[in-house]
Amino acid sequence: MEYDPGKPVHLVINPRCGYGGHHGAVAQLKAEARAEGIELVEYVTKGPRDATDHVRSIAADASAVVVWGGDGTVNEVAAGMEGFDVPILPCPAGTENLLAKELRIPGDPRKIVQVLRHGRVIHCDVGRINGRAFLLIIGIGFDGEVVRRLANTRSGHISHLSYFWPIWRTFWEHKYPRMKITADGEEIYDDYGMAFIGNISRYAVGLRICRDALIDDGLLDLVVFSCRKQTGMLLHAAWTLLRMHPLKGNAIYKQFRHLRIETAQPVLSQVDGDPGPETPLEVGVSPHRIRLIIPPPARSWSIWPWKGEVPV
């Protein structure tokens, strides 16, 4: 990356991210950066949305922002940096690091500094759901109910295990809603099921639901699983594990710029893992609104190596 020595590189740390105990890694990150002539200006966040306010206040005087946290912290930083020319480097330091994994950002502090020094800047899209920004993936129906159940019961830090009972209960109790979906002016679905909309391909636990999604193509990827009961859900899950779901007859895979989802009764959604708005939903994309730093392309590898990937 073109490093502007006239402006500092900022480091935003979420002290509550992941499993804690990052002090050693952060100290190493700062030492490695210093050895490369980069003095990181550190800021430790104090609570929800603090990262957004902080980066907005330093945006005019930053050459880059390194984020030490998970997807939640990156979302907050991106919200503050939207429309600014300052690139963000998200380190995989949280419980869920979907964006950092998608961009292939390494976890080792030495390698992170190399990405900061030699990576390149891409101009990424920001999704909108009923006017609210999202970076990763939203889910409508089943997914929204799981996240709402988790939010109602959670106390303190969550791990992957925290999702077990919400998923189990939703699996048995969820009533798959009938959804009318209009994409770029064309009605493409009017049936029962669940839907996902991705700005990136990754979903939790390594699933790639929006398999072909690219964060910088100005489009969002829609996946609809036609489904009325548990057996249908299990089949879709199996095909998704094999990354062959876009090829199945009872699933829709479509890229779009604007989408509307209507249901007879309000249906829950989740937005980047948090409870989202209820239907009706208007979903759109603001192309190239944030800058992200990604590693330089490895020898003879595409930076999006899964595109067109054959499942094994």
Site of interaction with Mg ion (CB under 5 A): 214, 217, 219
- Minimal distance in Å, beta carbon 220 to Mg ion? 6
Q: How far is the CB of 200 from Mg ion (least distance, A)?
A: 8
Nearer to Mg ion, 28 or 255 (CB): 255
Which CB sits closer to Mg ion, 29 or 214?
A: 214
Q: Are 267 and 278 in contact (CB under 8 A)?
A: yes
Beta carbon of residue 108, minimum distance to Mg ion (angstroms, whole number):
28
- Specify the residue, 38 or 219, whose C-beta has the smaller distance to Mg ion: 219
Query: Backbone phi, then psi, for 209, in 5-degree steps?
Result: -70, -50
Q: Smallest distance, Å, CB 250 to Mg ion?
A: 24
> What minimum distance in Å lies between the beta carbon of 124 and Mg ion?
9
Amino acid at 127: G
* Cβ–Cβ < 8 Å for 284, 153: no
In the numeric block, which tokens belong to residue 228?
A: 């009325």
Q: Give CA–CA dist 192/224, Å, rounded.
A: 10
Residue 299 Cα to chain centre, angstroms: 26
Helix 71-81 × helix 50-58 angle, to 10° = 40
Minimum distance from residue 221 beta carbon to Mg ion (Å): 6
**What are the backbone dihedrals phi and psi of residue 198, each rounded to the nearest 5 degrees, phi first?**
-120, 140
* Cα–Cα distance for residue pair 296/312, rounded to 1 Å: 27
Nearer CB in complex with Mg ion: 52/75: 75
Which CB, 3 or 306, lies closer to Mg ion?
Answer: 306
- Residue 197 CB, shortest distance to Mg ion, in Å, is 10
Q: Rounded to whole angstroms, what are the CA distances from 67 to 120, 125, 152?
A: 16, 18, 28
In the bound state with Mg ion, the residue whose beta carbon lies nearer, of 233 and 290, is 290
DSSP-derived 3-state class of residue 129 = strand
Q: Are strands 258-263 and 281-294 parallel, antiparallel or unpaired?
A: antiparallel
51 versus 99: smaller Cβ distance to Mg ion: 99
Cβ atoms 29, 109 nearer than 8 A:
yes
Confirm if 208 and 223 have CB atoms less than 8 A apart: no
